[in-house]
Chains A and B, each alone.
Chain A
Amino acid sequence: MHPRGEHAPQNKSEILQGTLDLMVLKTLEAMGPLHGYGIARRIEQISQEALRVNQGTIYLCLVRLLQKKWIKAEWGASENNRKARFYSISKAGRKQLIAETENWERVSGVIGRLLLMDGPR
């Protein structure tokens, strides 16, 4: 992911490679079918602008997830009757989400403990 945000405030964080997949899968699991913009908006709301997501990269992530058959896509009508493509999580996607959640917790636990280490007295 290469969010272009040279002019964005410095206190926004870059997205870790691969974590966008996890975020999209979790969003779809929690919210049910959503179109691309809906997913982008939801992630923005949750992160409260702390993450620097280039909204376009959501679509790249969606293609990858579609190819892996972790999500499904269907054309439908948006809230104000616009044609939009709706994505929903698949059975394989749910499995993957569980695996990735565990993995994430393991890694973040390790990082957390590492950062808590005290220096030599």
Chain B
Amino acid sequence: MTAEPAVEALYQACALSMIRVAFVMLDDLPAAEDVVQEAFCSLYRRWDHLDDADSAMRYLRVSVLNGCRSVLRRRAVRRRVLLASQPTAVSAEAVVLDGEEREEVARAVGRLPVRQREAVVLRYYLDLSDEQIGQVMGIRPGTVRSTAHRALEALGRALKETS
């Protein structure tokens, strides 16, 4: 299959889940859409160098995570520039719909360090195995387990403090 229809088909199949992953990571829908769009464009440019559908999927996940990291890094710089970093407002409607506790957990996930947040999102949203998460994050499965463990500990502590 040539690049364009193949990438289009992949976009139809998994753009939504990729945007959702980026949204959980960034808490900013336009930025999440941009990251995913950029990842698909990059996949399209690299299509001829990829071996199979699996490697395309892996490439996509890595691109999305890298894109999220770039956005978070830029945000950190902006904060240093004193560009009036505004915390993302959570709508009252969303709070009611999702429930207080879920909202609290989601906020705690958003406060985790980037690597821990990535491990948690890949594990509990995309249901990837530790090996797959390791491939996407470029770390060993053992490190994935310890990172996720530390993330859960931090979340447990954060939720205890707020309750």
Q: Do A and B come from one complex?
A: no
Spell out A's residues near B (CB within 8 Å): none
Spell out B's residues near A (CB within 8 Å): none
